Structure 1
Amino acid sequence: MSSSKARGGTFALLTRYIYQDKPLLAKALTLLVLATAFDVAGPILAKIFIDDHLLKGDFAPAALGGLLALYAITQLGSAWLRYQQTLRFSEMALSAVLDIRRRVFSHVVRLPMSYFDHARTGQLVSRITNDTESIKDLYVQFLSNVLGNAILLIGMLIAMAMLNIQLMIIALGLVPTVLLIIYLYQRFSGPAVAHSRALRSDINANISESIAGMAVIQATAGQERYLGHFDRVNQDYYGARMKTVRIGAALLRPAIDMLAVLVLVGIIALFGLQVVEGVAEVGVLYAFLSYMGRFTEPLAEITQRFNLYQQAMVAGDRVSTLLEQDAQHYQAEQAQVAHGAIALNNLRFGYSADKPVLKGLDLAIPAGGFYAVVGHTGSGKSTLLSLLLNFYPSGAGQIQLDGRDLADYGHDGLRSGVGLIPQEPFVLAASLYDNIDMGRNLGQQAVEQAARRAHLHHVIMAMPEGYQTQLGEGGLRLSTGQRQQLIIARALAASPKILLLDEATANVDSETEQVVQAALNDLRGEVTLIVVAHRLSTIRHADQIVVLSHGEIIEQGDHAALMADANGHYRAMYQLQLQALKVAQAEQEELASGA
């Protein structure tokens, strides 16, 4: 995608909310114009007082009282109108951020799993939080400020022209010079701002990963290594931010102030000539000096706010790029998985074109069948489950469910028909009920039934608050085995016709493994089970055991048939695990006897 196209997408993202609520925008602009009119009226009233009353010695109480009251009304009115105008722009900004964050998060949860293979959690969090917050500043700090100051400048120029056109022309000379400064600032600061925001995301990602893996970091004495990496990224961020500060310090306020002094000298010089010629009034000079004191302030504010504009554009680029990532697409029709029969026809897949993972798998699994998939690490077991879930499009060949191509199923139909029990349980910091229901509004009866089928109901009822027990982050109130049972209950709650288990017993003890086996036996014949297992004892009673090696099926049969092959791959794996179990038991007995 070209940079001009990306910039156009970013501009559209940032400006759509300006016109989304036109009545609110019109009200905010009206308040701005009225506030500016009240602001500009102040020096004109002071000019009238000086030239028409002070210099002439006319101190009539009625006239002076009216002039003073009018001045007070303009100042108080200006303050109230600007307060109301700030509220309107803040409302516009917060509604924009509300919608952008909703859109971004809604898009992220629909991205294909292939995107998350390379995305870093901290960077995604930074885009959804920090970058959208910078977009808010575009409305509150930049748009409100620039529009307000631009209208104020126009109002002061009109008032100056009414007082003295020649002096106004000198003051007008500041505007093109300031526009040039803004252009130079954007040109030099843009890359530095983009680099600093990218580094901020890296800092967030670094912190997120470090906290998530703190146990491993401390166990491997890696604190200094991670601290060193964090320091390097943090130092780079400091350097990038200092670069933007130096550019701003050189081109923003100091440059404006210097130009303002030159313009002020020009105005005083011209006024002196007009005094000599007898055409100048002291009140006009006072009004001009008052305007000039305020004229440079809006210009300086505008240039300084372009720093926020630059950051908002960079943040908008990052958010827009995320929104332009292709989401996972499903068929609109909501076909349901009615029986659970699976057929793989010459299935091929690779995460990259030159490195195939699955190499022409052919497999037919009847509805209600119990099939196990085993093999060494890297054989393609988990990849097969990901393809059955449609997390990745199959490279070649075909996957059929109940005789229909997998791609023909809609999102809801596929997700309700195929359940997943992953190796690493994902537990919400919520109640047990919420963790099983997962926002599907299944009802208490369905949740309890799922817990019973996972042999977890009695554990839950023994807790003080039952199904409303809060688990905390990561489900730390549950044992490892109970967390696995919770995930089984979650998968069963939707009554799937196909249940995929990815190393579900790899991290549990023997007692929990027996519970999982009991749950699987209860489901046998009712649900199609595909179990990826490292512990071969878990799948001894499977209808068929499929042995994968380097993405190919090298053996297939039930436990007895595979064990009968003296040179079989499965037999060697099973005997090796059995021997390792005997060695572990002997070591435990020796330790127990020694104690």
Structure 2
Amino acid sequence: MPRNRADKNQDGGALRLLMSYVFADKPRFIKTLLLVVVATAFDVLGPMLSKIFIDDFIVPGHYPLWPIVGIVALFIFAVVVGTLLKYQQSMRFLDMALNAVLDIRKRVFQHVLSLPMSFFDYARTGQLVSRITNDTESIKDIYVQFLSNVLSNIILLLGILVAMAILDLQLMLIALLLLPTVVGLIYVYQRFSVKVVSESRQLRSDINATVSESISGMAVIQATNQQQAKTAQFDGINNRYYSTRLKAVTVGSLLLRPAINFLSILVLASIVWFFGLKVVQGVAEIGVLYAYLNYLGRFTEPLVEITQRFSLYQQAIVAGNRVYELLQEPSANTQQGHGGAIAKGQLSISQLQFAYQPNKPVLDNINVEIEAGAFYAVVGHTGSGKSTLLSLLLNFYQPQSGAILIDAKALGDYSHDSLRQGIGFIPQEPFILASSIFDNIDMGRHLTPQAVERAAKQAHLHDVIMAMTEGYQTELGEGGLRLSTGQRQQLIIARALAGSPKILLLDEATANVDSETEQVVQRALSQLHRQVTMIVVAHRLSTIRNADRILVLDKGHLIEQGNHEQLMTLEHGRYRAMYELQQQAQKVAQAEA
């Protein structure tokens, strides 16, 4: 089945990506190519010297000392020098390959870091990891296994054909019949293998994604007794991967080496038959036959090498397509504005409209004015649009209509760096680096120890850190295992405050902490009141009683707003109902305790 034009364009893009590294250092590539030519010349010289030795010395029974010594010495010299030159060419191609993979992997990872948040709504972590690691590693094969071998073997074929033509042009034409047949086999192999190879690489990514997902969610899998279901899912993908790989190997086994070996036997029989005719005519030389048989063995081996390396080429092109496809994903607009730093933190949201999918609005006509230093809370049931509002304020997504202004300037007028320095974000699930406490607060911003310590004190974490043996240099391990859940949340608060933001966004920062830690967080927020503009998405309504204004969202609509006392006066208000329900649940829990 023919592939569509988009697939062919993608192949062209992948080839341009791969070949750009081949010609990145043209002088070096040309020097390596010359090494291949010279090494081939020495390699082809051997059978020619053998022919001279047989026809000029052995057949006539004439053995002059110095000519024979010269022929033998020249033969040994050709073998040694040819071997050394082949080693040099292999090392140079390997160096080119490793440099290419190093740069491609760096480019892909940097590009992934620059992708908009909307991309990660659907991307699977394991598949991205597979593209950055496995696929870029497969690209190396096109330089080491394919380019090096194919170039050297093509040059070797040309050298052998020239040597054959010098010996006997008619015999050379018989051997030449192999070339169009091999090209046809390669074409047929590509037609059968491309779909299978593409599918196998996709399934390998699915295997990585399934393993990554299962390991990260191991606690939930074991708690819900889903081990058998996950095993069945993994076995299904693994079996499909096995089937596709088996198909690829079967196609290669039929169309590559066995087919070439069969054809080479036919050509060998033709040469022996043709040489026999020359013997009858009395014009044949034994040395020519020996050299021809030697060259024929060397002639078929490069053809086998080229066809076998072509399977690696096919895999590298498929891997290149996947990497190229990822590189074509549009980056987030990080240079959208040239405005200065956020000075005050005043926010204005007018007629804001946003939807992830057409005709399914998540936020509908939101209008809010927030003074600098104010404490605003956003509440509502699940799916009301609370976290989406914070994502828009962080410029992770672009609204379909409406405007968000900071200090009377549009969000798009600020540069990416200005927004990230001026807005601090505290997510519900803390992200902890497997590094020291200092590194986790600093986050590569090159902050001074005083700034880091000040932020830790604001988050009421300094005393806990100083109680540890290594203080701020304490290694936390993966996921911050040396800290409690509450202390991790305090660490994230310290990270956000370390940059001295003018606006602080908290996405249910106390949802997963105990009552004692909740009070610590509340105390930290109270001290920041009037110093930083705070917008808090809250699940526990008791934590936002002191907010200057509370915004109540319902299915994307702003249905109520006011402070706690004002909203509690609304007889059938949504906020009042939610607050009273939580208070009753708390009383029941206390009574049962």
TM superposition score category, shorter chain reference: over 0.9
RMSD: 1.0
Deviating more after overlay: 325-334 vs 358-367: 325-334
Q: Letter of the 1:531 partner, please give it.
A: V
Amino acid at match of 1:418: I
* Counterpart Cα distance in 1 of 2:278 and 2:453: 93
Q: Describe the SS at the equivalent of 1:474.
A: coil
Aligned partner of 2:229 in structure 1 is 225
| 1:337 and 2:342 correspond | yes
* Equivalent residue for 1:587, pick from 564, 567, 592: 592
**1:72 and 2:99 are equivalent in the alignment:** no
Q: Find out whether 1:249 has 2:253 as its counterpart.
A: yes
SS state at 1:351 partner? strand
1:180 corresponds to which residue? 184
Residue 141 of structure 2 corresponds to 137
Matched, 1:286 2:280: no
Report what 1:591 is aligned to: none
* Residue of structure 2 equivalent to 1:258: 262
TM-score scaled by structure 2?
0.98
Greater mean deviation of Cα atoms: 451-460 or 418-427: 451-460
SS of the counterpart of 1:316? helix
Instruction: Report whether the alignment pairs 1:380 with 2:385.
Output: yes
Q: Judge conservation of contact 2:508–2:537 (CA < 8 Å) in 1.
A: yes
Are 2:137 and 1:128 aligned? no
Matching residue of 1:592: none
* 1:170 to 2:150 alignment: no
Answering whether residue 528 of structure 2 is matched by residue 520 of structure 1, we say: no
Q: How far did residue 229 of structure 1 move?
A: 0.7
- Match for 1:276: what amino acid? V
User: Which residue of the other structure, out of 45, 50, 55, is the alignment partner of 1:41?
Assistant: 45
Mapped partners of 2:274, 2:333: distance in 1: 70
- Secondary structure, counterpart of 1:357 in structure 2: strand
Aligned twin of 2:394: 389
Alignment of 1:57-68 (within 5 A): 57-68=61-72
For 1:274, the equivalent position in structure 2 comes to 278
Q: Does 1:463 align with 2:453?
A: no
Shift of 1:335: 2.4
> 2:112 is matched with which residue?
108
Query: Whole-Å Cα distance in 1 between the matches of residues 299 and 275 of structure 2?
Result: 18
Measured in 1, the distance between the counterparts of 2:26 and 2:453 equals 51
SS in 2 for 1:57: coil
How big is the shift at 1:334?
4.4
Count of aligned pairs between the two proteins = 588
Q: Is the 8 A contact 2:354 2:401 kept in 1?
A: yes
Alignment partner of 1:420: what SS? strand
Cα distance in 2 for partners of 1:269, 1:308 equals 37
> Which deviates further from its counterpart, 418-427 or 433-442?
433-442
Q: Calculate the TM-score normalised by the size of structure 1.
A: 0.98
Residue 412 (structure 2) aligns with: 407
Q: Give 1:375 deviation, angstroms.
A: 0.6
Runs of 4+ in 1 over 3 A off after TM superposition: none
Quote the Cα distance in structure 2 between the aligned partners of 1:24 and 1:427: 44
Which among 155, 159, 182 is matched to residue 155 of structure 1? 159
Task: Return the alpha-carbon distance in structure 2 between the equivalents of residues 125 and 309 of structure 1.
Answer: 22
Question: Is contact 1:371–1:545 with CA below 8 Å preserved after alignment?
Answer: yes
Match of 2:536 among 531, 538, 543: 531
* Structure 1 residue 3: Cα displacement: 2.4
Q: Is the 8 A contact 1:123 1:204 kept in 2?
A: yes
1:453 to 458, 462, 468: 458
Residue number among 535, 542, 550 corresponding to 1:545 in the alignment: 550
Gap runs ≥5 in structure 1: 589-595
C-alpha separation in 2, matches of 1:14 and 1:446: 46
Query: Cα distance, 1:5 vs. partner?
Result: 2.3
Tell whether the 8 Å contact from 1:454 to 1:488 is kept in structure 2 after alignment.
Answer: yes
**8 Å CA contact retained: 1:334, 1:412:** no
Q: Output the amino acid matched with 1:284.
A: V
For structure 2, the 5+ residue unaligned runs are none
Matched residues in 1 for 2:490 and 2:61: separation?
Answer: 94
Counterparts of 2:310 and 2:170, CA distance in 1: 30
How far did residue 391 of structure 1 move?
0.4
Q: Secondary structure at the match of 1:379?
A: coil
Contact persistence 2:337–2:412 (CA under 8 A)? no
Distance 2:422 2:9 in 1: 41
Q: Deviations over 1:202-238 (max 9, x none)?
A: 1111111000101000001100001001111111111
Picking from 427, 432, 449, the partner of 1:427 is 432
Aligned partner letter, 1:301: E
